[in-house]
Structure formats: C-alpha cells, structure tokens
Amino acid sequence: MRINDDHLSRLLRQGYVLVPGFLTADELSAARENMLRYVPTAEELTATPERYSWVFDEAEHLQTEFPFSGQALNHVSTHPEIIDFVSRLLGTRRVVLSQAAIWAKYAGTGDFEQGLHLDYQGNTLVAPRDDGDYRQVNMIVYYTDVDDTLGPTYVVSQEHTRDLPLWPTHRTRKKDPALYRNERPVLAKAGDLLIFGMRTWHRAGAVTAVAGTRFSHHLVYRAADHGFQGYQLWSRLGEKQELQAFLERATPRQRAAIGFPAPGDSYWNAETLAAVALRYPKMDMAPYRQE
C-alpha cells in the first residue's frame, strides 16, 4: 500500500498530503519517456528553440489530456494504487477518473504564477462537499524534481481555512493577505504524488530558474454516482485510437475508472458481449462473461 493510513489522516486534517516516492523507478522512467512524445527536454528546447516555437507561443498552456499515445501515462492515470486509495477515501469502489492531463513548464518561456484559488468551478455544478463519496480528489504526479525556483504548488492547510467561504474561488494577495501568509510550497522529487481536496486553496508558483523544466501529471477522481460532478465524460473520445488501445490492454478496474461497465454490471448480456468484442478485438472479454 503506497498511500497509507497516515497519508489519509494528514489529507483529512490538512486538505493535502505529499506521498514521497509514489512511483517506482521503472514507472517514473516509462512515464517520462512517454511524456517526451509530446514535449521536448529542456536541453532540446535550448539547443533548437526554432524547432519548438510553439512552446513559446503557448508557454502557460502546454497541456495534453488523456488518453495518451503509449501506455505508461495511461497506466499512471488509472494506477491501481490510486484507484484503491480513492475508493478507501470515498468509501465506494465506484470511482471514476474525471480529468487527466500532463503539463510541461519551461524556465524563461512564460509567466506561470497564479493566485490562490479553488478548482471546483470546472468540476461541479454546485459547491464541493468534503465528506464521504461527495469528495473529489485532486492529484499531481511529478516527473521532475520541483524546487522553489521551478513553479512549486503552494497550498494552504485547511486548518487555517475551514471557516473561509468557498466563494469567490479566486483570492488576491491584496484582498486576502492572511490567506497568503499561511501558504506553503510543495517541494517535490520526481515520482512524488501530491493529493489535495476541492476545498484546498492552492496556486502555481512562479518559475524563476534560469534553466530547467517542470513535468507533471494532473488527475481528478470522483464517485461515479454523482453526475453533477466531473470534468470529462471519456466516451466522447471513444473514436480515438489511443483510447481503444488503452481499453484493450487495461484491467477491468482500470476500464471501470473511466466509465466502462464493470464485470457483473447489468449492461452485460450475450448481445452486448458479442458487440463489444467486435469493437475491441484484442480485449479479454472473459471477466465480463462471469455470472
């Protein structure tokens, strides 16, 4: 169990927790290699900036969303240890991934600093509850070391903010100086995992380093039963080859985490089993044939 009960208790108390060394060395290496299909290394950008002019055009928005080409990033997005933890936290096995994106930031290319904010406006039609299966879980997996010069995520412990109204969702340093006095930077190593809640005030820090890059992977999980929450419905991407490849290779629980019917679901009958097998010829349908 990589995310243990101590991590869980700190998350409930503070609204955030850093899990050091969440990824194994092999998982980290594979994810970084997979990410480099989409973005250059800092050294490549410095050596041939003309080749990567789009980095400077979209410096603050170098994000690519799930599903990914290659399997390593898809695996991290639906990591069994993450699914298990979210299930424990929410008290239900019916959990789904509602957002997954990789993000690259390069020193000297843009202004990455944000103000303290909450993320819930884009993830629910109402206001966030922080109990039971109403919780939504934000996560950041780091693929590079992040020191105080490479845009660390700043967080404010909920021990300081439990009585602070959830609206407005964005707070300025001028109007809410006390909130900023209580913020702390998350200094992470490659392979670490940051978990925080929808009611946790946070922001992206400035990238002040002369050189370097920050590679990260951002996830949101929620309970499947609350349809008024969630950023993405993955079925809208069902025609993408990357999603088909992922579904054919994933475990049943990983598939369920993006909304695929689980084994034993009432959806499955002789007709649907045959039709889904035609759509995904490399998928092992045996788990769905069980009575």
Written as tens digits, the pLDDT of the chain (291 aa) is 999 999 999 999 999 999 999 999 999 999 999 999 999 999 999 999 999 999 999 888 899 999 999 999 999 999 999 999 999 999 999 999 999 999 999 999 999 999 999 999 999 999 999 999 999 999 999 999 999 999 999 999 999 999 999 999 999 999 999 999 999 999 999 999 999 999 999 999 999 999 999 999 999 999 999 989 999 889 999 999 999 999 999 999 999 999 999 999 999 999 999 999 999 999 999 999 975
pLDDT for res 270: 95
Helix (H/G/I), strand (E/B), else coil: 186: strand
Q: Which residue has the tokens 């475990």?
A: 251
Q: Which residue has the tokens 């809410």?
A: 176
Residues 6 or more apart whose Cβ sits within 8 Å of residue 78: 97, 250, 254, 257, 258
Q: Which residue has the tokens 């603050």?
A: 60
74, with CB counted inside 10 A (0-12, 13-18, 19+), is buried
pLDDT for res 40: 96
CA distance 81 to 63: 24
Architecture, CATH, for domain 5-235: Sandwich (2.60)
pLDDT for res 290: 78
CA distance 51 to 49: 5
pLDDT for res 59: 85
Here the tokens at position 144 are 């590079």
Which amino acid appears at position 264 of this protein?
A: G
